[in-house]
Structure 1
């Protein structure tokens, strides 16, 4: 092939490369659309629920609303369940997940997380009159949990060692009902649900007795979207500092965001 033909072929290839379409990153796509699609479970009060007029409300709902407002975007909720939060993100149905999504090593293998915008305090709760300050006080008693939760997994591992048994219910609503009706000696759940039990039966005065752990609640996003993650992290840091995220959390959960999250650099 002659030098002239080589030059023509090279120019043609370079032209094709230059004109190849460049895929926009997730942040650019959101901004171009003018709308952010947020996957939120609306069946887990007080984080996500529907009011009497079927309007979404809750701490995660208001967090999403604040984000959309600050970014100058329309907000579209993608109703989800716990099991479909991550699939909705991976299939492109949602841009982000704001739905009590705790950060775990297993989830971090398939999606990325923002920095924590709130926290989930996992506790042992019991009536105020029940003396519980350590595991020895629980020996010989049953702890009520929701089946398949992180609390269930944590307690199952050490139940025999601590001399306790586990009473399981299939969902949070049934577990709360058992506690409210006096069928539970103690519960292992979130501090938020302990507060709800207390509200439904003030006579028992359920309260947190021991903290098991504090889970980071973060915004989920697709893997390898550094621009979107950086913007989310910046927004969360600013709104933790100005107190807006804490005000939302306290409004619905009855307590501030755990200090482990608020005081994090």
Structure 2
């Protein structure tokens, strides 16, 4: 009888400890609101989504989206500088609360982080020098395609083993674009927006989209298991798609409107 009682008490103690541990684990939304600050991972080297202006201040469509969010929630905004490869680790290791950085929704990423509903869209393409005759995947054989490490383009092209593509990986979009402008690569895999930016200051190295890889939804990323924060972010996105503010930001920097079905 004493053994049974001891066992019962032991189990109850373990259960209470477990419940206490869950209760002690602060909810991220509560943490953010209590701190009165939101830490947002944003790549500032991928114009026009993220960049710095002449006064070295952050600007771009993702930057203004982050600024609008912080303003609407009455929070201080802290940008956590990131690259394509470090965006997800930043929220997994609590260096950032959320990601607003051209983060496209993929099944692979959804296994390790959660996504909000889409706030913008991205056309992923292979772009090449305008002078190159490239109309399909077959025309890309034998050409080196520059790509930013850890991006969806990197993943997509790496998995196209049957196409025998030659990839040159760079740490971020800025160095990838530099490689294109310097002649290290005549093709790049990135967003159509970035492709159209290449060569603006050097017409001799002007690029254009050649082959569409895929169209992606862009969403806000956050660590797994934060349903309250996800819900609040979704409400904010819905509101600002309907009132046109997110579309205004996108059009300002990308020169085109969001898809009609996204604008509602």
Contact 2:104/2:152 (<8 A) preserved: no
Aligned to 2:197: 196
Q: Structure 1 residue 46 and structure 2 residue 48: aligned?
A: yes
SS of the residue 1:61 aligns to? helix
TM-score (norm 1): 0.76
Runs of 4+ in 1 over 6 A off after TM superposition: none
Residue 254 to residue 141, structure 1, CA distance change in 2 (3 Å): farther
| Greater Cα offset, 218-227 or 48-57 | 48-57
Alpha-carbon distance in structure 2 between the residues aligned to 1:153 and 1:38 = 24
Match of 1:8 in 2: none
Number of residue pairs aligned between Structure 1 and Structure 2 = 245
Structure showing greater radius of gyration is 1
Report Cα offsets for 1:20-47 as digits up to 9, x if no partner: 7665522233223322222223333332
Structure 2 counterpart of 1:103, from 89, 102, 105:
105
Report the CA distance shift for 1:106/1:134 in structure 2 as closer, same or farther (over 3 A): closer
Query: TM-score scaled to structure 2, two decimals?
Result: 0.76
Corresponding residue for residue 128 of structure 2? 126
Unaligned stretches of 5+ in structure 1?
1-12
User: What's the counterpart of residue 27 of structure 1?
Assistant: 29
- On the 8 A contact 2:134/2:140 being kept in 1, the answer is no
- 1:165/1:105 CA distance change after superposition, 3 Å: closer
Any unmatched runs of 5+ in structure 2?
Answer: 1-12
> Which residue does 2:10 correspond to in 1?
none
CA contact (8 A) 2:46 2:194 kept: no
| Cα gap change, 1:81 to 1:165, in 2 (>3 Å) | closer
- 8 Å contact kept, 1:123–1:209: yes
**Alignment RMSD, CA only?**
3.3
